[in-house]
Structure 1
Amino acid sequence: MAGLALGAATAAAELALLAVAAPLLVYALAFARGGHRVPAALARAAGRLTELERRRLAAFLDYRDTTPYGPLKAIAYLTLRVPVGLLGGAILVLVGYGAELAVRLAAGWWITGDHLDGIPPAWWIVGYLTVLGAVLLFLAVQGLLGVALLERRVARAVLGPSPLAEYEARIAHLATSRAEVVDAVDDERRRIERDLHDGVQQRLVALGMLIGRARRAGDGDRRRDLLAQAHEESQRALADLREVAWRVYPAALDGEGLRTALETVAERSPLPVEIDYAVPGRPPHAVETAAYFVVTEAVTNAAKHSGATRVRVAVGGDARMVRVRIEDDGGGGADPAGGGLAGLARRAAALDGVLTVASPPGGPTVIEAELPCG
């Protein structure tokens, strides 16, 4: 109601501007000699009023748009929204009049005793007027909601991007996200190769050397010791291989779902990790995977680099969106352009999601991801 009241006031100012500007605009267009230039003063006034309307829509009516526009579009928008704004003001006046009338009737019936001919109203009159007032109030509220919706539609139709511009922006976004996904896959492959080379491969080489020494050993006791060492080394190699496989993709994510996979992350983390999971049902598989790797990377970074003592993970959302928030109490300073976090941002962008990182010096570090389910 505050937004529509302000809209009614600005509509009156815009109507005055258009009334003064109409002759100037007709004159300018008639004698422009092939050009369609709007007088500078009119263009400035129309632009300022249009920006004022944008701020009002963003503050009160939940509509935000930053698409650039020219003077003619601004004038066209003001011309179309003036009757909408005045309609909203008229409905607000009717609501105020109805409220004032209801207060007067109630005061006359029950407070001041100012009855018609000294006779209090019958119950059926009170009931009839109450029902009638409730119906009129319902219609007025629906009218206000309709005006608010019409305000947004007029702004979107006149000032918003054209369908062609939206398609071009969408194509550019898809092309960029596709290239970023390819880069993320290549980075993941390099990380897996590095883990296998530095971990499992080195242990397998040591295992082969121990078995070779055991085969050449002439002493039975020496052979048994070497075989025992080879057995221990094989167990460590198997543990490293399981660790690499778990980092590549956890089996629990396919079976039990995201909650169980995140609980496994908390169990394996060297830091205390608090999990707050509040997602109804199971999100799509791609969304679960992206959310899991966001949490895994954030917890790993907190344990390795931030000096944190605890991590809190909150996963919530609904059937349309899953929201992930990871906060640690470390020293901050995380680089959003770093390899790990940049890869997570690309993974989120591939789902039309957004990943943000806030890590001021001194902490805390907060990583948030919004992942659409559609």
Structure 2
Amino acid sequence: MRTAVRAARVLAGIALGVPAAVAQLLFLLVAGPLLGVPRARRGVLAVAVRLTGTEVRRLGLLGGVEVAGSAEGRPGGYDGRRALRYLALRWPVGVLGALVLTLLVAGVAVTARLAWSWGRGEPFDGMLPSGFLVAYGLAAGVVLLFLEVTGLIGLAALERRLARSALGPSPTERLERRIAELAETRSGIVAAVDQERRRIERDLHDGVQQRLVALAMLIGRARRGRSPEILEELLRQAHQEAQEALGDLREVAWRVYPAGLDSLGLREALATVAERAGVPVTVRYGLTGRLPGPVETAAYFVVCEAVTNAAKHAAAGSVTVEVVREGAAVVVRTRDDGRGGADPAGGGLSGLARRVAALDGRFEVASPPGGPTVVTAELPCG
């Protein structure tokens, strides 16, 4: 289904490029003489930028392309001269696209006519089509269709490459962007670590510490007790508090970092999360072999936080966890049937976003009111 949708988008993008090429050629023919007029030059360059902006949006149907960073008054950051240069290079590609589409339409029409004539027993171009002729036509049609599809794929790649070369950021701008991204993710990780430290401190203070205080008080009362019955009851309560304190401590330690993640791997760690969750969790694990440690850790915490939110805040009845590989990335996707309305800027989800960004990944939360909530993390994995 995704392949069909992608193919339709590419075909639509190339088809829209044909009238765009005609408009660009007409614009260049008019703009050529006007560039020599100082008063008209600024207007010509402004129109070139607008036409190029339309082209950049069309290229989104072909997979998109990275252009130069934003600048004052320019939608893509490229100036009028770069836009004009791109339009001059791009219109012949649009003419090539028109030829490819014309051949595709003509081939489909001829094949349809041949099949129609053969099915009804009518002549085709003055001759009655035989089974051999139909088979030959179908074989030739399959070969031509393959060549057409290859041509469309190559044309889409040529469109993106041309735009990247003419409008893309310079090496210096790429380096500046990368430095800015690294500085942002570094500060985000520092904030995430500080937030996690505060959460651990709060869990220890509100949980384990309170139980240890209660345990100390029970032991103190037992030391002062005189009646054997009272002493036995106090020791029983103290033993129960000690067991619950150990359980709370193990819970805090598990949330800090699960020991089984290193020894057993991500699959078993997620199975443990599903067992400990307060709602039914289905894990669909589509990977083979181990992942790099940082990727496994990030994937684990994404699932753990999403499942916890679904159980505590979304009133979900079930959660589905999917871990698959798509290209060079591992995609972790959790979906619950709760009431939705999750805030991506909340403490837990924002911390996950910073953790994923530190690995050059992408994090997305879709949670409309009424649900469902879908949390997706794409983690690069070589």
TM-score by length of 1: 0.82
Residue identity (%): 57
Quote how far apart the aligned CAs of 1:329 are: 3.9
Regions of 4+ moved over 6 Å = 101-110, 113-116, 120-123, 125-133
Q: Give the one of 85, 96, 100 matched to 1:87.
A: 96
User: Unpaired runs of 5+ in structure 1?
Assistant: none
Q: Distance in 2 between matches of 1:361 and 1:107?
A: 52
Quote how far apart the aligned CAs of 1:146 are: 2.1
Quote how far apart the aligned CAs of 1:310 are: 1.4
Q: Distance in 1 between matches of 2:130 and 2:370?
A: 71
Q: Distance in 1 between matches of 2:316 and 2:102?
A: 59
Q: Give the one of 176, 186, 211 matched to 2:194.
A: 186
Quote how far apart the aligned CAs of 1:135 are: 5.2
What is the SS of the residue equivalent to 2:150?
helix
**1:176 — aligned with what?**
184
Quote how far apart the aligned CAs of 1:7 are: 1.9
- Structure 1 segment 304-319 matched on structure 2, within 5 A: 304-306=312-314, 308-318=315-325
Quote how far apart the aligned CAs of 1:165 are: 1.3
Count of equivalent residues: 361
Cα 1:203–1:46 change in 2 (3 A) is same
Deviations 1:36-74 (A, max 9, x none): x86244234323322332232222x22244632221111
**2:3 — aligned with what?**
none
Q: Give the one of 324, 335, 354 matched to 1:327.
A: 335
2:87 aligned with 1:78: yes
Q: Give the one of 17, 24, 34 matched to 1:24.
A: 34
Q: Distance in 2 between matches of 1:354 and 1:98?
A: 42
Q: Distance in 2 between matches of 1:88 and 1:81?
A: 11
2:293 aligned with 1:285: yes
What is the SS of the residue equivalent to 1:42?
helix
**1:62 — aligned with what?**
63
What is the SS of the residue equivalent to 1:322?
strand
What is the SS of the residue equivalent to 1:271?
coil
Residues 273 and 310 of structure 1 are in contact (CA less than 8 Å); yes or no, is this contact kept in structure 2? no
Cα 1:38–1:243 change in 2 (3 A) is farther
Q: Distance in 1 between matches of 2:317 and 2:152?
A: 49
What is the SS of the residue equivalent to 2:313?
helix
Deviations 1:321-348 (A, max 9, x none): 2333333444444332222121111111
What is the SS of the residue equivalent to 2:364?
strand
**1:158 — aligned with what?**
166
2:18 aligned with 1:8: yes
Residues 8 and 86 of structure 1 are in contact (CA less than 8 Å); yes or no, is this contact kept in structure 2? yes
Quote how far apart the aligned CAs of 1:298 are: 2.4
Q: Distance in 2 between matches of 1:297 and 1:108?
A: 63
User: Unpaired runs of 5+ in structure 2?
Assistant: 1-10, 68-75
Deviations 1:307-328 (A, max 9, x none): x141322313216223333334
**1:214 — aligned with what?**
222
Q: Distance in 1 between matches of 2:188 and 2:294?
A: 16
- Structure 1 segment 1-374 matched on structure 2, within 5 A: 1-25=11-35, 27-28=36-37, 32=38, 39-59=41-61, 61-65=62-66, 67-97=76-106, 111-112=122-123, 138-306=146-314, 308-318=315-325, 320-374=328-382
Higher gyration radius (CA) = 1
Deviations 1:177-233 (A, max 9, x none): 111111111111121122222222222233333334434445555444433332222
Cα 1:152–1:193 change in 2 (3 A) is same
Q: Distance in 2 between matches of 1:96 and 1:305?
A: 54
Q: Distance in 2 between matches of 1:162 and 1:170?
A: 12
What is the SS of the residue equivalent to 1:39?
helix
Residues 114 and 124 of structure 2 are in contact (CA less than 8 Å); yes or no, is this contact kept in structure 1? no
Quote how far apart the aligned CAs of 1:173 are: 0.8
Q: Distance in 2 between matches of 1:243 and 1:103?
A: 67
